Chain A
Amino acid sequence: MSTQVTEQTETETEEQTEEQSPGERRREKKEQLQREREQEKSDLLDEAEETVELKIFRYDPEVPEKEEPRFDSFEVPFFEGMTVLDALIYARDTYDSSLTFRHSCRQAVCGSDALFINGKQRLGCKTQMVDLEWPIRIEPLPHQEVVKDLVVDMEHFYEQMHAVEPYFDPDELPDGEREEQRQTPENREKVKLSTRCIWCGACMSSCNVAAGDNQYLGPAAINKAYRFAMDEREGTDRKEDRLRIIEQEHGVWRCQTQFSCTEVCPKDIPLTEHIQELKREAVKSNLKFW
């Protein structure tokens, strides 16, 4: 009896499928997928030993209910090794696909996801959830214009980086075929840390001076200048030009050695030290040439 019932149902379903148009079949699949996803989501939350609350800043100048900045809360399952970026991706892909933030590499090399996490500038991908107090508050970088949600306008940061002529420009190159310029391992070591910058903007956002003086070059740009000024391959003429650039009104002399940039830099670049060293170089060259 029971077998018969099953068979009947099966035939019915088959017939139904035949009558269905491709569109209908797709819709059915779609609904099924949606049901599956809902189930998976609630299962995941149930299964997770712990869940974390994220309080995320929201703003969109174009969407009426987001015109006024607000915080949205999302509950996400916690798993071992989870980073803040993982949690953001989970919240977006599961609850609200309009949640907007930059990200790409997931390994602290692309510099896309500098955020203000629990009151400090950090890379989302490099910040373990266990190292933070919960609930976790995530905001866009302070002192930068917010475009939408966690995305800030980086244009000003890029302009400052470009302002220090951030490209290698040697006085002369070797003549020989396939001949490289020589550089001592010591000199390479000297510029090593300065070359690690990933243009994330965390330092600039943490800097009080930059917040008050929009034209201040900022720690990252000055560090970029340091990277070239200290590179022995460029030659002394170029170094003079470089020192002139960073010595200008909104250059190194603005730095008040508060170390906030050094503290937040995810690549551990000794920014304040580099700025101080350039101040000394500038003084030295002034003594020499004027």
Chain B
Amino acid sequence: MHEHDVIVVGAGGAGLRAAIEAHEEGADVALVTKLHPVRSHTGAAEGGINAALHPEDSWDLHAYDTMKGSDYLGDAPAIDAFAQEAPDEVIQLEHWGMPFSREEDGTVSQRPFGGLSHPRTTYAGAETGHHLLHTMYEQVVKRGIEVYDEWYVSQLAVTEEDDPDERTCYGAVAYEIATGEIHGFYARDGVILATGGLGEVFDHTTNAIACTGDGQAMAYRAGAPMEDMEFVQFHPTTLPSTGVLISEGVRGEGGILYNDEEERFMFEHGYANNEGELASRDVVSRAELTQINEGKGIEDEYVHLDMRHLGEERILDRLENILHLAEDFEGVDGLDEPMPVKPGQHYQMGGIEVDEYGQTCIDGLYAVGECACYSLHGSNRLGGNALPELMVFGSRAGRHVAGAVGEEPEIPTGPGAKSENGSIDAPVNLGGVADPDPVATDGGELATPQDVLEATVEAERERVETLLERDGINHADVREKVQKTMTENVNVFREESNLKQALKDIREARELYQEVAVRDPSRTYNTDILHTIETRNVIDCAEAITVGALAREEFRGAHWRMKHQERKDDEWLKHTMYAWNDGKTDLYYKPVILEGEEQTYEPKERSY
């Protein structure tokens, strides 16, 4: 058994930041990660990091923009903390050597970004995330923090009290990919989940293949609810064959979207008469899909993004990396022909419910980064707000787990925060199918943390044995089923009948999952096992997203409902909570907190 003060699961931006901070506070920290840290998907971020650095800018303006962007579904304590601390974190990154783009006077450059009232986006070329990730990994190496790389965490060791508020997390179980051995990790002070996004729930995404919602699903099954899962950001310009992101920069420079009939549909069909191609992500995504559904897509699949009229010189000067992306990943020469694009899943606003220090309702269990929901982004994330989030909340959680925070959090978590029960007219049963569910085994009411951990290790050994020994179907077929239905039915357009169809398909996938087996008999680097375990997590996340989408009968931020075309503040200024308890699920709500430190945020229309 391995033993540390703090176990950080995941080594993307959020995990690295949390580990460094806990280490600075004197904790013995280990990072346990299924990918080597520098392979984390934080490295794919292009655009930038927002922080109110300029003397004429101020944190409360950044906070206000973020709340407005969230369509008033953010919680003020999280938003305020975020905006106040983001500048320190950016300076910290600079002091750690991050190669930011610079002004003539040697200071860090800042540029305008969508939804921001001041140019406060710092960046490092078009590879901001890559530099942030590598800079922080370098600091981890400098500090000698222990990294278990290519170790897959498959389960949390959590006690089994009826009320999740009373449970404790003592550690986690990890599968060593190289050898197939299963290890227990005892965490004396706490476990921090930093496992990133869940793009694999959809079949078209800008996320990596490793973004499978592991942390969300593990925490959920241990009793920490998922919050606001229906809010999924779709990006309007992704390459059709891979989902690789073509940044807003192209449209910012004057790139034009055309349909099959060479109509500039954003204007000609009145989707955005003022802003055209530069309207917000959700508006452009819906316009593209409407065109495609009306038979005006190219090959019934995508639309064209044309930048040829900008001229070779300007393209090479400002958009060179886009040329490479289109060439390498779609085989298209952007100087010669229009680039095919379509909407793709991009970012998950919802996640594991946590307070403004990253604590879940389970004692000793934290979550940070994209897998968490402090309620910072609410129903819609502003571009450039995720990277500073990793830094601010990674750091806050690291400090908290190491015992260096005195204040009480203001955001309540767990079933105790429930204000209202929810219900949906589900066409099928929800939650677990197997009884007992092998992945919902927790330690039971056992005497010591070690006992809880050992019981969890044993349960995981059995799970893996079973998968290896039995005959059955390939998990990939089940995953594909989920991805297909999610993309078809829980996409940017949401209609009651489609959402119900998705729930049926997810249920079917869940039942089929009972029959999956691993064909690779080897213990050496068996990725078949890992992907099979991941698929179970994909199913749990897909269900939570769909349940939330069916429950929320309004149009807010990224969530659009066919029959409910307006934001309904009287009824829906509340968070959607979805909790798992022993295979049963519970849908309920908790209020949004709009009272901030300097201002009480009054919901206004979100127009730009």
Q: Which residues of A contact B (CB under 8 A)?
A: 22, 25-27, 29-30, 33-34, 37, 60-63, 79-83, 86, 89, 92-93, 96-98, 100-101, 103-112, 125-126, 128, 130, 147-149, 151, 154, 158, 162, 165-170, 173, 178-185, 188, 191-192, 195-196, 198-199, 228, 231, 233-234
Contacts and interface: CB of A to CB of B under 8 A. Distances in A.
B169 to A, nearest CB: 27
A147 B129 CA distance: 30
A128 B520 contact: no
Contact of B141 (A33, A86, A166): A166
Contacts of B35: 104, 110, 112
Contacts of A92: 476
A27 B241 contact: no
Interface residues of B, number: 79
B541 to A, nearest CB: 18
Contact of B44 (A60, A105, A162): A105
A183 B130 CA distance: 19
Contact of B242 (A81, A97, A184): A81
Given A80-B331, A178-B91, A192-B99, 11 more contacts: A33-B473, A62-B524, A81-B330, A93-B474, A97-B475, A101-B527, A106-B208, A107-B329, A180-B95, A195-B134, A196-B127
A276 to B, nearest CB: 22
B131 interface: yes
Contact of B104 (A62, A128, A166, A185): A185
A104 B208 contact: yes
B521 A63 contact: yes
Interface SS of A by simple majority = loop
B38 A198 contact: yes
Given A105-B208, A195-B99, A167 B525 contact: no
B146 interface: no
Query: Max chain A CB contacts within 10 Å: which of B129, B130, B473, B524?
Result: B524
B369 interface: no
27 contacts: A29-B511, A30-B473, A30-B512, A33-B512, A34-B477, A61-B524, A86-B241, A96-B519, A97-B520, A98-B521, A98-B522, A100-B526, A101-B527, A103-B209, A104-B208, A105-B43, A105-B44, A107-B329, A109-B129, A125-B329, A167-B139, A168-B138, A168-B139, A180-B94, A195-B99, A196-B127, A198-B130
B138 A107 contact: no
B515 A179 contact: no
B523 A86 contact: no
B73 to A, nearest CB: 30
A147 B97 contact: no
Given A97-B519, A109-B44, A110-B208, A130 B99 contact: no
Given A34-B473, A182-B106, A83 B242 contact: yes
Query: Max chain A CB contacts within 10 Å: which of B35, B129, B527?
Result: B527
Contacts of B91: 178-180
Contacts of A89: 209
B519 A130 contact: no
Nearest to B508: A29
Contacts of A22: 511
Contact of A86 (B104, B242, B328): B242
B184 interface: no
Q: Which 10 A-B pairs have the closest CB atoms?
A: A168-B97, A182-B106, A98-B520, A81-B241, A167-B138, A167-B142, A93-B476, A110-B39, A104-B208, A30-B515
B476 to A, nearest CB: 4
A182 B138 contact: no
Contacts of A199: 36, 38-39
A30 B472 contact: yes
B103 A29 contact: no
B108 A147 contact: no
